[in-house]
Amino acid sequence: MKYMLLIYENEKVEEALSEAELQQVMTEHFTFAEAIQKSGNFISGEELAPTAASTTVRIRDGKRLTTDGPFAETREQLGGFYLVEARDLDEAIGMASRIPTARTGSIEVRPIREYIPPQD
């Protein structure tokens, strides 16, 4: 089963990190990604640009509304994700707790909905 591990953190926390600290976090991410690649759980993963670069689009009454910033202002922002394959929620939770950001922000473990193909 596929799970999305959504990485949330207060962007200000990351901005406040020193160059060396940032390097440390990146190294931990690489180590983690490499480990789950080796174990066959990794599907993909990306870091997102800060929400300052974000734009939200809605269509209302057929008209496009484009606004600056993320959909909702929250204390923690979505900063990246890993898409992983896991046996069950326990395995996915185990992986989520190895993401370095789990110590400073939060990781949401969200299952990918499985569609059963139509039968003929």
Partner 1 sequence: MADPASILERAHREDYGRIVATLIRVLGGDFAAAEEVVQEAFTAALAQWPREGVPREPSAWLMRAARNKAVDRARRSARLDARVSELEAVARVEQALAPLPDGDAWPAAPDDSLRLLFTCCHPALSGEAQVALALRCLCGLTTEEIARAFLVSPATLAQRLVRAQRKIRAARIPYVVPEPEALAERTQGVLHTLYLVFSEGYAATEGPALLRVDLCEEALRLVRLARSLLPEAPEVASLRALMLLHHSRRRARFAEDGGLVLLDRQDRALWDREQVAEGLAELEAALALGARGAYTVQAAIAALHAQAPRAEDTDWAQIAALYGRLSVLTPGPVVALNQAAAVAMARGPEHGLALVDDLEASGRLADYHLLPAARADLLRRLGRRAEAVAAYRRALALVRTEPERRFLEARLREVSEA
2 neighbors 113 (Cβ within 8 angstroms): no
102 contacts: CB under 8 Å, gap ≥ 6: 96
Of the two residues 69 and 111, which places its CB atom closer to partner 1 in the complex? 111
Of the two residues 66 and 119, which places its CB atom closer to partner 1 in the complex? 119
Of the two residues 11 and 91, which places its CB atom closer to partner 1 in the complex? 91
Nearest approach, Cβ of residue 71 and partner 1 (Å): 23
- Among the candidate windows 9-17, 20-28, 57-65, 88-96, which touches partner 1 by CB under 8 A? 88-96
**Collapsing DSSP states into helix, strand and coil, what is residue 94?**
helix
Q: Is 1 in the site for partner 1 (CB under 8 A)?
A: yes
Q: Is 35 in the site for partner 1 (CB under 8 A)?
A: no
Q: Is 26 in the site for partner 1 (CB under 8 A)?
A: no
DSSP string, 26-83: HHHHHHHHHHHHHTT-EEEEEEPPPGGG-EEEEEETTEEEEEES-SS--SSEEEEEEE
Q: Is 89 in the site for partner 1 (CB under 8 A)?
A: yes
